[in-house]
A and B are shown apart, each in its own frame.
Chain A
Amino acid sequence: MECGCRSKSDNNFVGVLPCFRKEIFLMTMAEVAEALKAEVLVEGEGYKKDVRHVVASDLMSDVLLLDEEDMLLLTSLAGDQVLRTAQIVGAAGVIVVNGKPLPSSMVYVADTLRMTLATCRLSKYEACIAVNAALHSKK
């Protein structure tokens, strides 16, 4: 499941997105958080784990669609349901984008579920690009 594309402007081959290749070594949640300049609120079980997939979604049923563990969930939704969904799929962590203020309950829920929780100021679109760029530069 590789996906590449050609940029018209400079004709460079732009992206084989490494996150779709399971065998490659990826980044840990901690590294992703750093790359996004995210503020980590809860260091959960998945904090030191490799992120194997990135899901950028705000619809919970859409998140449940991917049958993989250890995903990073990038979402603009700030609510407990995001963490509960993340626990169901065994996500490595959740990063709420857009610098959204989180309801105070979220930190508590993340803590009880031992789910890594962070916020970052980037939009989800920017965060996707930043994660991808960080993955490339690491390789």
Chain B
Amino acid sequence: MKLRDIIDACGLEPVLVPDAEAEVSSAYTSDLLSDVVAHCTEKSVLITVQNHKNTVAVCTLVGAPAILIAHRREIPADMQEAAAREGVALLHTSDSQFAASCKVGSVLGIDPR
């Protein structure tokens, strides 16, 4: 599925979307960067409240094309700069990580079991 489709279907607010056509196949919810490095798969949307520039670096590392910041937590300037540089999309939602995960999950249609 294209990133654009998820943004539309879940009503996410694009903050910075370098490539709306980026392929997304899954999502990963975490606020621990070490955990993201260890478990997040390629082409995942990272759902988090960890609004730190290192989050961008970690996404680049694992090949995650987008970061969805829950609770509409303010995105600091250095994080936006890093995302622009690395070509990682930044999205906002007022939902919690839980609600956002459920929504993204229902759109991506993954049966966890």
Q: Do A and B come from one complex?
A: yes
Q: Which residues of A contact B (CB under 8 A)?
A: 3, 5-9, 14-15, 17, 19-20, 37, 54-59, 62, 65-66, 74, 76-77, 98, 122-133
Minimum CB–CB distance for A1 against chain B, Å: 9
* Chain A residues within an 8 Å CB radius of B101: 56, 124-125, 128-129
Q: How many A-B Cβ pairs are below 8 Å? A: 102
Chain B interface category by residue count? 20 to 34
Q: Which residues of B contact A (CB under 8 A)?
A: 5, 8-11, 26-32, 35, 39, 47, 49-50, 71, 95-99, 101-107, 109-110, 112-113
A3, closest chain B residue (CB): B99
Q: How far is the CA of A65 from the CA of B8 in the complex (A)?
A: 28
Minimum CB–CB distance for A42 against chain B, Å: 23
Q: How far is the CA of A22 from the CA of B101 in the complex (A)?
A: 20
Give me the 10 closest cross-chain CB pairs, A-B, nearest first: A126-B112, A128-B101, A58-B31, A129-B105, A14-B106, A125-B29, A56-B98, A132-B102, A124-B29, A56-B97
